[in-house]
Amino acid sequence: MAGNNPNSTPMNLTLKVWRQKNANTPGQLVTYKVNEISPDMSFLEMFDVLNEDLLRQGQEPIAFDHDCREGICGMCSMYINGRAHGPEKGTTTCQLHMRKFKDGDTIVVEPWRANAFTVHKDLSVDRSALDRIQQAGGYVSVNTGGVPDANEIPIPKSIADKAFDAATCIQCGACVAACKNASAMLFLSAKVSQLAMLPQGKVERKTRVENMLAQHDAEGFGSCTNIGSCAAECPVGISLENIAMLNREYIMAKATSDNIG
Amino acid sequence: MSWFTKALSSTIGRKLLVAITGLFLCSFLVVHLIGNLQLFSNDEGVAFNAYTYFMTHNPLIRAMEIILLIGFVLHIYEAWTLSRRNQSARSVKYAVNKLEENSAWSSRNMGLLGTVIFIFLLVHLYNFYFKLKFGELGLDAAGNKNLYAITIEAFSHWWYVALYVISMIALALHLIHGFQSAFQTLGLNHKKYTPAIKAFGYFFSIVVCAGFAAMPLYFFFLY
């Protein structure tokens, strides 16, 4: 890959990082120098080094979201040099290694941008709009009774695999961040298709897609124009086929559901 | 609002309308291209003018004309409404945004391409449709209004030919994204068919637009 730093020579980099005090104050890009960065560090570890420097200098460290640091939690949300989660395909920011950059590089780091998301502070972004979409129908209701036996409901392997692929969505919001329209359709479609494919989820499939899309629109996300930036930037490889399935689900639900309101 | 209008004003509903009207407009392109191929017949425009007479007098065609107008209006209105929504979904832009690394230029600029096509459409309608309906046209050997003569006149100007060719390039780019995108919007994405739909869309876009662009070029250079 271009820009790889194969040896382990430490790098000196220039960072332009978005600093913003809180949601109500305008922010700006601030330039920092980081020195002696090991190519084996992750992007977040590089930020840890920078924050320690800032603390030593008595400055406010940069706020950024992170948790598991192994690509599962979906918290780390940085727009790096114009790409969600940086230049490498199929990774989150925490899985991005500094060896993907060259000594002397200037790296611009911005928070996810969408009106449905709010910048808490610096690079830390409130993505609870995605939670509200999920809460609008991204579940299977089990109202009563004991736990059913495992494998009681037969599910073909191919369907189970597809549903699992959709279920790998970590709700990181990279699809929204990368989408020219700030649409959350890839996220929404992963959640809708995951459940619509499984017998347990089929029961509520119509109300689910109707309510979840209504919530998506109410949150102020844009609409999908089939550009494909979302799938290209998705760290877990959610496919555009899910958006086609979402469209099918929506058409079928609107045509046949009991909801006439 | 009823469930129906609500469904059609959601983000998915609106783009469904854009997709359906878009595919309908593609069917219009095919008819328009096949009919206009008569411009190439070497008969001083007799066949073309007879075809023009048929197209302006057949009641079925006249009814289709109204449906076609509704198709255009819906396609433009819904796409415009969605574009405005999409533009307002991100007020603070990125300082650095490299969308060219994850998506095709034409797919991100459908509005711009559509605007070029719309302006072309107005000029095109004024020069042919408007003149045919309300202008003073001579008659050809068979006694039909001589739209062929208007065509020859129009395409003798280099700037008019240039406008047509540029517009057809814009239309081709618009269709390359739009054709396959419409199927995705309709929920038709399957590993068996989608590669074929994409390939056909590409072929369709190039052939149709090259066919239209060939007409002004033919009259300018060869006639």
What pairs with residue A80 in β-bridges?
A83, A109
Per-residue pLDDT reduced to its tens digit, B172-211: 999 999 999 999 999 999 999 999 999 999 999 999 999 9
Mean pLDDT, rounded, for B99-116: 97
pLDDT greater than 70 at residue A3:
no
Q: Contact, B22 vs B16, CB < 8 A?
A: no
Identity of the residue numbered A97:
H
Of B97, B107, B186, the CB nearest to A82: B97
Which residues of chain B neighbour A106 with C-beta distances below 8 Å?
none
pLDDT tens digits along A209-234: 999 999 999 999 999 999 999 999 99
Note whether B12 contacts A108, CB cutoff 8 Å: no
Q: How far is CA B179 from CA A209, B13, B150, B173, B210, in A?
A: 26, 18, 32, 10, 16
Strand arrangement, sheet containing A106-110:
A28-37, A11-19, A106-110, A79-80, A83-84
Percent of chain A with pLDDT over 90: 90
Q: Cβ–Cβ of A247/B91 closer than 8 Å?
A: no
Residue A49 at interface with chain B, using a CB cutoff of 8 Å = no
Per-residue pLDDT, averaged over B102-106, amounts to 96
A5-14, B94-103, B150-159: segment of lowest average pLDDT? A5-14
A 62-81 residues inside an 8 A Cβ radius of B:
79, 81
**Does residue B3 lie in a domain region?**
no
Which percentage of chain A shows pLDDT scores above 70?
97
Mutate to test the interface with A, among B86, B177, B190, B197 (most CBs of A within 10 A): B86
| Residue A22, phi-psi category: left (phi > 0), alpha (psi -120 to 50), beta (remainder) | beta
As given in the structure block, the two tokens for residue B11 are: 């983000």
pLDDT band at A4 (very low <50, low <70, confident <90, very high): low
Q: What is the pLDDT of residues A12-44, one digit of tens each?
A: 999 999 999 999 999 999 999 999 999 999 999
pLDDT reading at A1 higher than 50: no
SS3 of residue A170 by DSSP: coil
Query: Helix or strand or coil: residue A142?
Result: coil
- Reported as a pLDDT band with limits 50, 70 and 90, residue B214 is very high
DSSP summary character for residue B157: S
ipTM over 0.85: yes
Residue with the two structure tokens 């899910």: A242
Closest B-chain CA to A232: B102
Q: Is the pLDDT of residue B16 over 80?
A: yes
CA distance from start to end of chain B: 57
User: In whole angstroms, what is the distance from residue B164 CA to residue A7 CA?
Assistant: 55
CATH fold, domain A128-142+153-256, is: Fumarate Reductase Iron-sulfur Protein; Chain B, domain 2 (1.10.1060)
Query: Quick one: pLDDT at residue A145?
Result: 83
What pLDDT does residue A2 have? 47
CA-based nearest residue to B151, from B143, B141, B167, B140? B140
Closest CA to A223 of B17, B195, B99: B17
Q: Which of A125, A211, A213, A225 best probes binding to B when mutated, by most B CB atoms within 10 angstroms?
A: A225
For residue B1, pLDDT over 80 is answered with: no
Q: Which fold has domain A11-120?
A: Ubiquitin-like (UB roll) (3.10.20)
The SS3 assignment for B93 reads: coil
Whether B1 has its CB under 8 Å from any CB of chain A: the answer is: no
Interface residue B57 vs chain A (CB under 8 A):
no
CB contact under 8 Å between A244 and B97, yes or no, is no
B4 in a structural domain: no
A241 interfacial to chain B (CB closer than 8 Å): yes
Least CB-CB distance to A217: which of B10, B96, B110?
B10
Q: Given CB atoms, is A110 within the 8 Å cutoff of chain B?
A: yes
Cβ atoms of B104 and B205 within 8 Å: the answer is no
For tokens 């969408």, name the residue.
Answer: A114
The verdict on a CB contact (< 8 Å) between A254 and B7 is yes
At B213 the three-state DSSP class reads helix
Tally of structural domains, chain B: 1
Band of residue A8 on the pLDDT scale cut at 50, 70, 90: confident
Q: Is B9 on the interface with A (CB under 8 A)?
A: no
Q: Show residues of chain A in contact with B192, CB under 8 Å.
A: none
Cβ contacts (< 8 Å) between A229 and chain B: which residues? 99, 102-103
Among the ranges given (A3-12, A232-241, B5-14), the one the predictor scored with the smallest mean pLDDT: A3-12
CB A121 within 8 A of CB A25: no
The C-alpha atoms of residue B35 and residue B33 are separated, in whole angstroms, by 5
Q: Is the pLDDT of residue A162 over 80?
A: yes
Domain locations along chain A: 11-120, 128-142+153-256
H or E element, residue A50? helix A43-56
Closest CA to A224 of B5, B76, B177, B116: B177
The 10 Å Cβ neighbour count of residue A21 is 13
Minimum distance, in Å, between the CA of residue A140 and any CA atom of chain B: 23
pLDDT reported for residue A114: 97
Calpha distance A66→A64 (Å, rounded): 7
Whether the CB of A115 is below 8 Å from some CB of chain B: the reply is yes
Q: Is A247 within 8 Å of B12 when comparing Cβ atoms?
A: yes
Residue B135: the pLDDT is 83
Largest CA distance in chain A: 65
Task: Find the closest chain A residue to B4 by CA distance.
Answer: A254
Distance CA A179, CA A233 (A): 9
Quick check: B65 pLDDT over 60?
Answer: yes
Domain of B76?
A: 9-87+105-222
The verdict on a CB contact (< 8 Å) between A114 and B89 is: yes
Q: CA of B25 to nearest chain A CA: how many angstroms apart?
A: 18
Contact A247 B98 (CB under 8 A): no
- CB atoms under 10 Å from CB of A135, counted, come to 13
Q: Tokens 């298709």, residue?
A: A193
Residue B155 lies in a domain: yes
> Is the Cβ pair B86, A248 closer than 8 Å?
no
Query: What is residue A6's predicted lDDT score, i.e. its pLDDT?
Result: 58
- For chain A, the average pLDDT equals 94
Q: Which residue from A115, A226, A248 is facing B181, i.e. has the nearest CB?
A: A226
Q: Return the H-helix or E-strand segment holding B182.
A: helix B158-185
Which two three-digit tokens encode residue A3?
A: 């820009």
Question: Is residue B98 in some structural domain?
Answer: no
Residues of B85-104 as b/e, b for ≥16 C-beta within 10 angstroms?
Answer: bbeebbeeebebbebeebbe
Q: How far is it, in rounded angstroms, from Cα A4 to Cα A52?
A: 26
Torsion of CA B110, B113, B118, B121, to 10 degrees: -130
Find the mean pLDDT for residues A135-162: 90
| DSSP tag of A60 | P
Contacts of residue B14 in chain A, CB cutoff 8 Å? Answer: 223
Q: Please give the biggest Cα pair distance in chain B.
A: 64
B42: contact with A, CB 8 A cutoff: no
Q: Report the pLDDT averaged over residues B6-16.
A: 95
Q: Which candidate, A77, A94, A105, A73, places its Cα nearest to that of A18?
A: A77
Give the closest of B12, B102, B190 to A233, CB-based: B102
Question: Quick check: A28 and A19 in contact, CB under 8 A?
Answer: yes
Q: Is residue B80 part of a domain?
A: yes
Say what the pLDDT of residue A147 is.
Answer: 81
What confidence score (pLDDT) does residue A7 get?
65
Mean pLDDT of chain B: 95
